[in-house]
A and B are shown apart, each in its own frame.
Chain A
Amino acid sequence: MFAYWRQGFTVLVLVLAGSVWAPASRAGTEAAPIDTATIEKNRKANEACFACHSAAGIKNPPKADLDLANKLKDSRLEPALFNPADHGVMDCRQCHAGNHYDPYPHAEVGKNETAPCTECHAAKVMRLEPQFNASVHAKNEGLKEKFTCNTCHNAHENIVALRLKDPHKIVAQDNHGCLECHNSDLTFAKFAPDGEKTPGVKRKRPDIDTIHDWLPNTKLHWNAVRCVECHTPEVAAKKMLSHEILDKEKAEKKCVTCHSANSTLKVRLYRHMAKDEQQRLGFTNSVILSNSYVIGATRHPVLDGIVIGLVILTLAGMLAHGAIRIVAALRRKGNKEQAK
């Protein structure tokens, strides 16, 4: 009897658990959300790595004569940056071939065993790989092999736009990904292919502000919109931004794409906030207005109506006044002639 109940209870638990876990596992190849207990466990495990891989660790190494200041001088790893990031819930060893990194010195083989993005994001990679392959960087013969997902995506720091929310932060993060190369001769040279006419000599980096000198207030734009706003083809609302980076022929040059009531910014930078649109104080595109006043896009239909109405009224008033004057003058002239 008791055994029967126990069996029944187990089945019940399994069924309940099944219904809870099914949606998560149905995501299949996609990275599943991680529960709080696991996050706690991962954070604890990562402390072992941060003992060296952090500013504090470099200053106070767990062992003497590790020479961390020199060996880790280019590292930006930091719990404060890693933990809030997209991958901050994970154990470092999920990407960095586990056992190779527990001891130090790390095993040489570990270097080649960083988990590729596909391992956990197969569906997304499949969707965006054709776009990625059509982009200027993948089509450039001398650049192709060096250009991967983590060239733009910092696996330790990036926060997806949806969670980042604040458009200024999204712009700063995403533009940093491009400007890291396009605004730095040092990094650019590491990736730049040889010039067509000058084999053996790296192509020079064109100055980013000079290229875009047709865009007034260039610096202001860099802080308010992303490179990908103009350098990717438009996609349907709610769809993920395209990964096809467009060359100078295809990039967006028309100002009214953003500077008009039907601004593309709604489906790009402000895509995640579109549902928050409440026409605050009656403004069109008021989600944008919380961060940027965009001439042509963030206007007030009622105010515009009043202004246009007043202009029409004034014009009509003047025309009517003029018409009465003419009629009155003609009348007077007629009267005078009669009087003669």
Chain B
Amino acid sequence: MSERIYLLPLWIRVWHWTNVLLIITLVVTGISLHFADPKLPLVEFSLAARIHDIAGFSLVAVYGLFVIANIVSGNWWQYVPKPPGVLERCKVQGKWYLWGIFKGEPHPYRVSEEQNFNALQAISYWVIMYMIMPVMLLSGLIFQFPQLAPDRLFGFDGLLPVAIVHYLTGAAIVLFMIAHIYLGTTGKTATSMFGTMITGWHEH
């Protein structure tokens, strides 16, 4: 009765869960560094710094592999919202999230091997993975090698803009992650999309 398609190859699933682990580690240790305070129950500062450094470098490596694999496999095409009618499809999708979903209406677009993401997903994933992430990684790398940052800037330490960019892109990723995990429950059942990311199989 239910129809299955094999949607996600192994490498995407392995990459995805590695990414999840690293980013959660980075978020927890990043929060511990930024809000460091003897009175708050956070990860101890030097431990947090050590873990953050290692996880940070790992994420840079994992991201590099992700970009290469995307180019080689052609998976990058999934992230491109395809005209015509992108705006129209975004509107329809948005309406479904805000209204149709409550009435139990079916998903407005059908997932297929050719078109894994809906238009809203494609745009937000594209922004996060190809705009926010590179900036986040680059600012992290400069943070790692502070001698790369300018010495002074407008009377402040040159690391200040790097730190702010790092902090704000980190915050953007946290916001994305909250929404991302929640929207993961909007599949056929609340857990079916998580299942797909584990097994690779999508059920219509």
Q: Give the total number of A-B pairs whose CB atoms are below 8 A apart.
A: 89
Interface residues on A, range: 35 or more
A80 to chain B, nearest CB (A): 24
CA gap between A264 and B180 in the complex, in Å:
40
| CB-CB nearest in chain B for A318 | B182
Contact A217 B146 (CB under 8 A): yes
A311-B175, A325-B101 given; A216·B157 CB < 8 A: no
A305 to chain B, nearest CB (A): 12
Which chain B residues lie closer than 8 Å to A293 at the CB level? 156-157, 159-160, 162-163
Asked if B11 is an interface residue, CB under 8 A from chain A, the answer is no
B168 to chain A, nearest CB (A): 8
Contact A295 B33 (CB under 8 A): yes
Q: Which of A1-9, A28-36, A185-193, A255-263 contacts B (4 or more CB under 8 A)?
A: A255-263
| CB-CB nearest in chain B for A336 | B104
Contact A256 B37 (CB under 8 A): yes
Contact A328 B104 (CB under 8 A): yes
B3 to chain A, nearest CB (A): 23
Query: Interface size on B (CB < 8 Å)?
Result: 33
Asked if A315 is an interface residue, CB under 8 A from chain B, the answer is yes
Q: Which of A51-59, A230-238, A284-292 contacts B (4 or more CB under 8 A)?
A: A284-292
Partner of A220, one of B34, B38, B146, B163: B146
Asked if A81 is an interface residue, CB under 8 A from chain B, the answer is no
CA gap between A311 and B101 in the complex, in Å:
23
Which chain A residues lie closer than 8 Å to B159 at the CB level? 292-293
| CB-CB nearest in chain B for A295 | B33
Partner of B104, one of A303, A324, A332: A332
Q: Which of B43-51, B107-115, B126-134 contacts A (4 or more CB under 8 A)?
A: B43-51
Which chain A residues lie closer than 8 Å to B21 at the CB level? none
Cβ contacts A297-315/B at 8 Å (1 or 0 each): 0111001100100110011
A-B contacts, 15 of them at CB < 8 A, read A214-B46, A216-B53, A254-B38, A256-B37, A259-B33, A260-B37, A280-B156, A292-B159, A295-B163, A296-B33, A298-B160, A310-B171, A311-B171, A321-B182, A332-B104
In addition to A256-B36, A289-B160, A304-B34, 4 A-B residue pairs with Cβ atoms within 8 Å of each other are A260-B37, A295-B163, A321-B182, A329-B104
Binding site for A on B (CB under 8 A): 33-38, 45-46, 49-50, 53, 101-104, 146, 155-157, 159-160, 162-164, 167-168, 171, 174-175, 178-179, 182, 185
9 nearest A-B pairs in the assembled complex, by CB-CB distance: A296-B36, A255-B45, A293-B159, A318-B182, A328-B102, A307-B171, A293-B157, A314-B178, A259-B36
Binding site for B on A (CB under 8 A): 214, 216-217, 220, 254-256, 259-262, 280, 289-293, 295-296, 298-300, 303-304, 307, 310-311, 314-315, 318, 321-322, 324-325, 328-329, 332
